[in-house]
Structure 1
Amino acid sequence: MTRIIVCLLFLSISQITVALTLNGIASYQQLRKEYYIAALYLSQSNDDPQSILQNQDRKRMALRVTAKRWSPRRWSLQWQNDIAINNVFSSDPDYTQGLLRFTGFLRDNLSKGDEVIIDYLPAEGTRISINNVTVVKTSTAQLFDALLNAWIGQVPPSREFKNNILSLSDDHKQLLDRYNSLSYSGDRTAMVNSWIAAEKETAAAFQKEQQLKRARALAAKKAEEEAKQKAQQKQARASKPTKPPSKKVIRKPVKKQKIVSTTTPSKEKKSKAQIKAEQDYYLALYRWELRRAIHQAVEYPAWARQFGQKGLVTVNFTVNRQAEIKKLDAQDQGASDLLVNELKRATTEVVPFLLPPDALEGKQWDISISYRFDPNSDDQPYVAKPSLPESLQSDKKLSSSQYKKVLGSYLGTVRAIIEEGIEYPEWSKRLNQKGKVVFEITINQDGIITETKAIESSRHEALNQAVLDAINIAQPLPIIPIELGINQTSIRIEHAFK
């Protein structure tokens, strides 16, 4: 009876394998280097991407490595980029966990002959193996579809690749012969098994370490609570409540405005050294303004943050007097295409709205902007505003009315920027929560908020947080006008939710 069941099982598996036919085969290349030959197997031939994705029959993506060396880093970046540009971001934990494991599984280089099989099995879900060792399993088709989209989506590796995967071309026999000639040895299977064994050892060690940490934390917490109880018995009950920590705010770009330097050169005759110092100042000021605005416009790509991608990206470009960009290129220093493209996008969006100072001589200038991407922090290294050279400093002071007018205009601009970012929380609106919120903020010369103080709070914490979020998102604010001659100023932000 057991032998019959085994035979039937064998026949069943064989029938499933035979049922799949080669739909297409293609060569995956980047920068003229071939990494693997890809093959797509379906239950019946199909050249329509949408129909293939919707089909619930068994499907298989197979790839055999042709490169002598395919490093874990290059594997990860290639797949992550291809996945991100062809799929809508999803925070589904099972799906993203599968993607993270697939793109980050390698512990050593893949080499010529290694085989990766990505199967969709209707009764099981997605199963991925490397050299016949299962490394990823999920219960749905979502992971398979995301990986297949990297081949046949809107932005495939190339038009030729997509066409060849969707239907067999005239020269597919030659590529198929190369594909069939590739194979891996038992040592390569053992290598993948060793990765899994090492993973299990690491996980066990980590779990043991976490248990020790939890035990220490519980002991420390217990001791702290005992000490706290003793202290509370000795203290008066009238203690001030502590302010709850504010939520992490995701930066988003504020409405962009054209910025033109208001500093005008003196008409007095100046030395060559003074003129050079002034020109250096105007160029440094322009670069500083560009850096501030571009950093503010950068949005961490959701996929890049999900994949934990980070790194320093630098864009170099030439800009002319009309604020037109020429010769834009980037240095990634190990960062992914997602991060590089985001800094490029922010640059091309911001630069046309920032005109160079009228007093800056020349027709075009070279600019370099760097941005450090880190999933855990959006903070960037602080760069102080360029100091005004002595030849541009004036001994003349503004009259009282002029001072009030310039300061009033500046504070009005700041207030308008923050007000624009205040959003009435949807649930607060539905619950008819109302109230007035007042904060006082202190702004330094560079437009950075150095202090935020609650003056009047609503009894609804969501309303208070909405105003605080708008204040944080607005940074950096416009710089304090030089003619005011002050290092900082304060302003009250009042908002009534009605």
Structure 2
Amino acid sequence: MKSIKLVIALLMFAMALTAKAAPLLNGLALEQQFNKDQYIAAVYAERLSNDAASLLDNNMPRALEIRVVADHLSARRLRNQWMEGIAINNPGDTLTGQAENMVTFANLFKGRLVSGDRLRIDFEANTGATSVSLNGVELGKIDSREFFNTLLRAWIGPVPPSTEFRDNLMKSGQVTGGLLATFESLQPSAERVSQVRATYEGEAEEVAAAPEPAKPEPKKETKPESEAIVSVSKPDLSADIPAPTLAAIGSAAIEKPAPARPEPKAETPAVAQASQPKPLKPTTTRPATPPVDEEELEEEEDEAPLTADMILARQIYHSMLLRHTFKHINYPKRAMERGQEGSVRLNVTIDSRGNVIDVATLQESRYSSLNREALDAVERAGPYPATPPQLKMTEYKFSVPITFRLPD
């Protein structure tokens, strides 16, 4: 009898441990912009997988984490990058339904993140809640079972920051040793943890005492679009496709390749280095405050507080700008003949009338012809649709992720 009780006790103990077990590291990806390391992203899951659908299973605990590599990282830019990814990887009804939660999430990002900071987003399968913390200090919690997947799709959906970024997050635990060593070494200093705690816990007390603002009327739902990734078969981008999303709901058939491009211009950009980044050297704890970029800080202070209407307007507009760009992309003939594939990400600045002011390459592929075609496509696309009046912006910045992919 005693032996039976002992076995039952051991089984109950094992079940308790399993229930509280932390999700496993599924993959790591290094985000680089302008050839500089920005942060390492991680996806954790209770069951390791290399399949996006499995990682989007709402019945298992999961987590996302960002560990900052750069000396300083604008929280506003990180937030806007994530919002763009959400806009083009989620269907319209999801964006509408999650608008208020996205406002809550976006407004958690303030000031600067610094090297060694750890931004963590945990999904509790039993409650469906998503909690956000910075260096162990909880910033907020969102009670929506669908919200975590809204964030995750920005990383592993049809239009990720790059195909390499997505693929590295879906490694089923087979992560690169050098990158893992760097990831584990990135830790905030005790001073930085205290600074974050003092900042966010103080703000939480003020928010708790403030009256709750009235919620705007919900927006009318829109249908998702049918294609996202720019490949040999360009997406169906006819004007009758409804905004606001480019999220794919199925794999598109590969059609006839685009017509041949003219010979390259003399001012060909230099060939990018290999797209797979080299592992970083392990580091220790980081300083509490970063160097200050006055111009960037001024931009952050001048930005108006986000609302659900503004977030939806930005997402609709961003989707429109991408569709407009994709209509002007051709797969370079020579690149097709040589079997060259890759991802390019551009930063585009336009004025309120849609005229292109500036184009900068955030990430290059290893092939100059693909990099050049991406830049030429933006040049051909101008002018873009004018900025919506509700955004009240004289200039609008957006990123364009382009994946050149050949049929299997």
TM-score between the two structures when normalised by the length of structure 1: 0.41
Answer 1 or 2: which has greater helix percent.
1
TM-score between the two structures when normalised by the length of structure 2: 0.49
State the structure with more CA Rg. 1
Instruction: Report which structure shows greater RCO (CA 8 Å, sep ≥6).
Output: 2
